[in-house]
Amino acid sequence: MSRCILVVEDDFYIRESIRELLEEEGHTVVCADHGAHALTLLETLRPPPDLILLDLMMPVKDGFQFRTEQRADARFAHIPVVVMSADPQLDSRREVLAARSYLRKPVDIDLLLAAAAAPAA
């Protein structure tokens, strides 16, 4: 099933690699380089994305700040989020993030594709 996926990642090479991979799988991909940019995109994308792939450690507005604001906005709170992070404390932060799933960086391609294809919960 083809989806619209918002990739929020500050590292250009990681962001572009994920974009290319997902587009090869037939998905429409929109990219943001930090959380503030992603929130602006959520305001303008019609329809909103089906899934958000979210890095945590970013400049301007990190993934934690983005997730707090996204969850507080009823228009976007329902969009599932998959967190991608190399943060060694990720396991202890899962409750505050309340994401659908968590992928450790470097991200396993098969796990990323499975997360992108998983039905909305």
Rg of the chain over CA atoms, in angstroms?
13
pLDDT at 113 over 90: yes
Give alpha helix (H) positions in the chain: 12-24, 35-44, 63-72, 90-97, 109-117
CATH value at residue 16: 3.40.50.2300
Would you state the structure tokens that stand for residue 66, as one six-digit string?
């983005």
- What are the pLDDT digits (tens) for 26-54? 999 999 999 999 999 999 999 999 999 99
Strand, coil or helix: what is 9? coil
CA 111 to chain centre: 14
pLDDT over 70 at 120, yes or no: no
Number of independent structural domains in the chain: 1
> Domain limits at 113?
4-117
3-15 pLDDT, tens digit per residue, is 999 999 999 999 9
Tokens of 19: 């974009």
Q: Does 89 have pLDDT greater than 80?
A: no
**82 contact partners, CB below 8 Å, separation of at least 6:** 51, 52, 53, 54, 99, 100, 101, 102, 103, 115, 116
